[in-house]
Amino acid sequence: MNGAESGVDMLAQLDELQADENRDFLLMSRPFYDDLVHLFTGTSRSVERLCELDTQTHNSSTSKSVFMIPYSQIAERGYTLRSCRHPIKIIDVKSEYWIKRTRFVASCENSKSRDIHGDFTSTDEQYAEIISDIISKEISTGAGSNFVISREWVAHVNNFEFREALGVFRNLLVREIGSYWIFLARFGRTYFVGASPERHLSIAFNELAMTPISGTLRTPNGHPTDDQLVNFVLDAKEARELQMVLDEELKMVSGIGSSPISVYGPSLRFMSRLVHTEYAIRAHSKRSVSHVLAGSLFAPTVMGAPIENSARVIARHETHDRRYYSGVLGVVNYESTAPTLDSTIMIRTAEISDNSVRILAGSTIVQDSVPMKEASETRAKVQGLLDSFDAKESGRSATASLRDRVRLPLSVRMVLDERQANTASFWRDTSSSLDLGTAYGLCSEHLNIGIVDMEDAFSNMLRVLLECLGCSVSVYTPSEAVSCHRKHRLMFMGPGPGNPISEDPAMRSVATLIQDRLRNRQPFLAVCLSHQILANVLGFPIRRRRVPNQGVVRTIDWFGDPISVGFYNSYEAYFRNCRKEPVRIAEVDMSFANESSEIHGFRGEFFGSFQFHPESSLSLDGRETLMSEILRILSREMPEQSCDMQSDRVGRAL
């Protein structure tokens, strides 16, 4: 491996790369880490599966690899893919160089790009119509809380050369601010150049980090006022978008990492024409790089929530091939026993071939999205990148952006601090819960809990919460749970997308499971979708909400106690005869909203349910409410030998 502190060798390498178009490379700058530009060169190859990143790197003569993962790798997780499969690109690094960013910019002053002229392949009106369809046909019917739909911008060019691509990269270094990675990669005869604001995943010293970003303030002149920033941070829609993305990435981190998990933020990320809000998540992890990467495909900020159903929605509504848009570009180093990894999400990226420039941009669609505003947002994202194809000097410097980050006005810092208080304390530091679980007697080898995963990784968050309280937890699919649930002292029926009264096999399996637990008086709790299935089993009507609850926080009356919790539901169970107090029907108590008769939860002697998500980062009182229900149920648990004797009476009462 070569290093060149003076940068002379690196500049010579650029000349060689221009002369030899068959050599692949990555040029990369990470403004939040250092003021360097790195160059990685080596032999490239294509593979089909992520596990080959581990095995072939270990068997090669190099310890470091550059990799690029296409969107089509979503199929490796078994998720829906409509477009073509594309290979994972890997460069086994033979040489590495670095140089000060200022020196690189000065040395490439003569590398000029060219003006390009293109347009979206769909009109703003057509894109807005797709958004309207997704709101009415997907979000409103319970398919998910939010979805990211991209659109395609294309320009036709002839003979786009190495120095022109280098010129775009140089311009991004000079003009773009707030980027996590600024990069130029060449694989074969195709260039990928971009300035991505978002980390995909980093690993160092067995700690992984992710940075969910959402919420967008458009700043055409690059200079937002203090009032604009305050109003942006206080905007309910933008705040809800970010909080939902935080939940989605916590689902992901809970699946690939382990406690302690900690959330920091929100904070602001300044770009040349945009400002975003973001969180930072850190967690422990000792799993292989390929395993962690596979479990992180792909970020909810480029897909939506929940991830598995988002893949179906994208396949239904996007007519173009995403190729490497929304994929991952990264560098992994196996030199030590604990590998290090850094990677970025491939957004704000141009794919340049011999005859075209292709840019994809998307927006996060939620229930209250304004379709034409979302179309305008995609134009702003594309324009921010197109500015770097222009040779004129303009824009603020990256140095200025870092000053902005440190010197936020007091009014902005205050509202950001207020937003921080809206994240459940458990997720700000999960390690704080073990003592609580011990104090309440939950740390017991006898408290083995099963969770039914209904295609929503909220089950991962629920598992982490329960494990941090000292419980032993196993996760099952609905069909698996039907055959093995009886070995668990307590079962959790999990949340998920869809219509609770449909004939979907998963819905039927959970209904069967609930009926079996009721007959045998075996303790269980049901969350969100499973709460609705329980309500249907108990004979309560189910209706679709006129306006879905997606990332909505409410303070509700929970059997006499006010609690602040987060809701994600398009359907609800309701009580026909509205009363002011929780009511008892046979052996079931209910908590419900007086104004709408929506049932928030049930309490039976050995079971309970939540329409809300106690495991969500939105639920400030979620952990305590969940723990109280577990203790309530287990304290009333019937002796095992009397279960059969009591089952008929309970069945008749229900």
What are the residue numbers of the active site?
A: 528, 613, 615
User: Please, are residues 298 and 307 in contact by the beta-carbon 8 Å criterion?
Assistant: yes
Q: Which of 209, 170, 219, 176 is nearest to 195 (CA)?
A: 176
Rounded CA-CA distance 591/178 in Å is 47
Rounded CA-CA distance 645/273 in Å is 70
User: Please, are residues 89 and 346 in contact by the beta-carbon 8 Å criterion?
Assistant: no
Residue type, 502: S
Rounded CA-CA distance 476/487 in Å is 13
How many Cβ atoms are within 10 Å of 600's Cβ, its own excluded?
24
Rounded CA-CA distance 507/522 in Å is 20
For residue 366, what is the DSSP state?
Answer: -
User: Please, are residues 312 and 142 in contact by the beta-carbon 8 Å criterion?
Assistant: no
* 41 membership: H or E segment, kind and range: strand 36-47
Rounded CA-CA distance 169/182 in Å is 7
> Which long-range contacts (C-beta less than 8 Å, at least 24 apart) are formed by 431-439?
431/259, 431/260, 431/468, 433/465, 433/468, 433/469, 433/623, 434/468, 434/469, 434/470, 436/469, 436/623, 436/627, 437/468, 437/469, 437/470, 437/471, 437/627, 438/470
Strands 607-610 and 524-527 come out as parallel
* Token pair belonging to 179: 């980027």
* Upstream peptide bond of 266 is cis (omega within 30 degrees of 0): yes
User: Please, are residues 432 and 426 in contact by the beta-carbon 8 Å criterion?
Assistant: yes
User: Please, are residues 318 and 378 in contact by the beta-carbon 8 Å criterion?
Assistant: no
* 193 membership: H or E segment, kind and range: strand 190-196
Q: Which of 435, 117, 400 is nearest to 272 (CA)?
A: 400
Give one word for 29, left, alpha or beta, with left for phi > 0 and alpha for psi -120 to 50: beta
CA distances from 454 to 233, 311, 480, 499 (A): 33, 16, 12, 12
Residue at token pair 């509202």:
415
- The H-assigned helical ranges of 493-610 are 505-519, 529-538
* Token pair belonging to 301: 């900020």
Rounded CA-CA distance 617/208 in Å is 19
* Upstream peptide bond of 298 is cis (omega within 30 degrees of 0): yes
